[in-house]
Amino acid sequence: MIDRSYKDLLKMRRFPHTWCPGCGIGAVLKNVAMVLRELGWGSENTVAVSGIGCSGRMSGYMNLDAVHTPHGRALTAAEAIRRVREDLHVIVLSGDGDLASIGGNHLLHTARRNPDITVICNDNEIYGLTGGQAGPTTPKGTKTLTSPRGEPFPPLRLGRILTEQAPYFYARTTVYHRQHLQQCIREALLWKGFSFVDVLSDCIELNGRRLGFRTAFQMLRWFDERFRIVRGIREHLEEDELGIAQAKETAPTKKVPEEKYEPPLPSVEALRFISHEELERFDGREGSPLWIAYKGLVYDVSKSPLFQGEKRMRCHIAGKDLTHEIDAAPHGEDLLFSFPVVGRLV
């Protein structure tokens, strides 16, 4: 016998519902109810929140306390409810125009704040209730009432936007792939944090017919042709893939710069004594290093590009105490400090 107990979660006395025959929203509603029943969630611990539009009517048919917000504000309302009532499961049942267009700003910021709510988005790629105008997810080139020559702009790619920053849960499925739809809804409801299920759904009357489909079934078969199911947990989904992309919160992404090892500077006391006679031997002759003295310290300047042959550092002669010369030189003493100190002049 078929288990029909999920109907307890629907306001059956309000049926028949407002949606057109063949519409995909009914399938979304039914599968949400079935998964809620399976999980044992009900009116005592679950609240449904919707926005405006055909899809926004879903919460009104749920046999739960439901909040039907102004256009686009479902996510904000759901977040606030969840914030003050951590004992409640909050699910958002709404459409792509509501969530991604007028509520686009809220989508970005609610996802960023990551409240523990689940969003079931009935994504039919059209504004259905108002008669079939182009929406934020309408594919480029689609003819609608407001794009008679074909939608000129590319659609918003929710799959990319919502999987940009961990933690995230984004699932894409369709009303045709029923088992997969239920699986995605179940995983999303059980996910701790913000989860988003993008359910591709058919609007036969106000989108499909204009596209050339004669029946809702043809449109469902079109979903089968357009998409393929990928198994397992992905990081991202390609545009033709149905599946689940998720990522847990990662460790702080800010990279701590590696500390460069710098040997401690030798203390002046530790340096060896160098006499004037010894210094004079290191004047670059016969390949010897080039040393000069400045203010009592002896520097090895052999690596200097200014070394110009035997005994000479441009204007200066190596192997000598050059304190007076360097103080008088236009370049100052800074030039010297990058060279290693080899000893103390005595």
Partner 1 sequence: MNHTMRKLLSGNEAIFQGAIRAGARYFAGYPISPTSEILQQAALHAEEDPTFRFLQGEDEIACAIATISASLAGVKAFTATSGPGFSLMQEAIGWGHVVEAPCVFVNSMRVGPSTGMPTQPAQADLFQVQGGSAGDYYPIAFYPHSVEECFRLTVTAFNAAEESLSPVVLLADAFLSHLYELVDLEAIEVEVVPRTKEPLGRGKRLFTGTAHDKLGNVKTNDPDIYRAWISEIKGRHHEVAEKYPLYEYLPREDSDTLLIAFGMLSRIVSPLKRRFPFFRPIRILPLLAKELREVTKSYRRILVVEGSDGQYGSWVQGAIGREVISIPCLGGGFRLRWIEKELQKRLEESP
User: Which residue from 31, 55, 63, 304 is in contact with partner 1, where contact means CB under 8 A?
Assistant: 63
User: Which residue from 27, 28, 32, 64 is in contact with partner 1, where contact means CB under 8 A?
Assistant: 64
> Which of 98, 82, 100, 99 lies closest to 90, judged by CA?
82
Residues 284-343 that bind partner 1 (CB under 8 A): none
Angle between helices 25-39 and 178-190 (to 10 degrees): 50
Interface with partner 1 by CB under 8 A: which range of 52-60, 192-200, 213-221, 282-290? Answer: 52-60
Residue 65 binds partner 1 (CB under 8 A): yes
- Rounded to an integer, what is the distance from CA 333 to the centroid of its chain? 51
Structure tokens at 83: 């914030």
| CB contact at 8 A, 319 and 280 | yes
Beta strand pairing call for 341-345 and 297-300 = antiparallel
User: Which residue from 66, 117, 171, 219 is in contact with partner 1, where contact means CB under 8 A?
Assistant: 66
Tell me how far CA of residue 8 lies from CA of 37, 46, 95, in angstroms: 9, 14, 24
> Which of 275, 310, 126 lies closest to 204, judged by CA?
126
Radius of gyration over every alpha carbon of the chain, rounded to an integer in angstroms: 36
> Which of 210, 107, 221, 201 lies closest to 157, judged by CA?
107
The DSSP code sequence of 22-74 is T-SHHHHHHHHHHHHHHHT--TTTEEEEE-SSTGGGHHHHBSSEEEEPSTT-H
User: Which residue from 109, 160, 248, 276 is in contact with partner 1, where contact means CB under 8 A?
Assistant: 109
**How far apart (Å, rounded) are the C-alpha atoms in residues 80 and 103?**
15
Q: Residue 68: what are its φ and ψ, rounded to 5°?
A: -110, 100
Number of residues that bind partner 1 (CB under 8 A): 35
Residue 60 binds partner 1 (CB under 8 A): yes
Residue 129 binds partner 1 (CB under 8 A): no
Interface with partner 1 by CB under 8 A: which range of 62-70, 126-134, 150-158, 197-205? Answer: 62-70
Interface with partner 1 by CB under 8 A: which range of 55-63, 153-161, 178-186, 306-314? Answer: 55-63
Residue 119 binds partner 1 (CB under 8 A): no
Residue 118 binds partner 1 (CB under 8 A): no
Residues 20-49 that bind partner 1 (CB under 8 A): 43-47, 49
Provide, rounded to whole angstroms, the least separation between the CB of residue 59 and partner 1.
7
Interface with partner 1 by CB under 8 A: which range of 27-35, 78-86, 217-225, 244-252? Answer: 78-86
Count of positions (residues) in the chain: 346
Provide, rounded to whole angstroms, the least separation between the CB of residue 110 and partner 1.
9
User: Which residue from 7, 11, 37, 209 is in contact with partner 1, where contact means CB under 8 A?
Assistant: 11
User: Which residue from 59, 118, 195, 207 is in contact with partner 1, where contact means CB under 8 A?
Assistant: 59
Interface with partner 1 by CB under 8 A: which range of 60-68, 143-151, 189-197, 321-329? Answer: 60-68
Give the dihedral of Cα atoms 156, 159, 162, 168; nearest 10 deg.
170
Helices (H) and strands (E) in the chain, counts: 11, 14
User: Which residue from 29, 35, 36, 67 is in contact with partner 1, where contact means CB under 8 A?
Assistant: 67
User: Which residue from 1, 2, 84, 270 is in contact with partner 1, where contact means CB under 8 A?
Assistant: 84
User: Which residue from 25, 29, 73, 279 is in contact with partner 1, where contact means CB under 8 A?
Assistant: 73
Binding site for partner 1 (CB under 8 A): 11, 14, 43-47, 49, 57, 59-60, 63-70, 73, 76-81, 83-85, 87-88, 105-106, 108-109
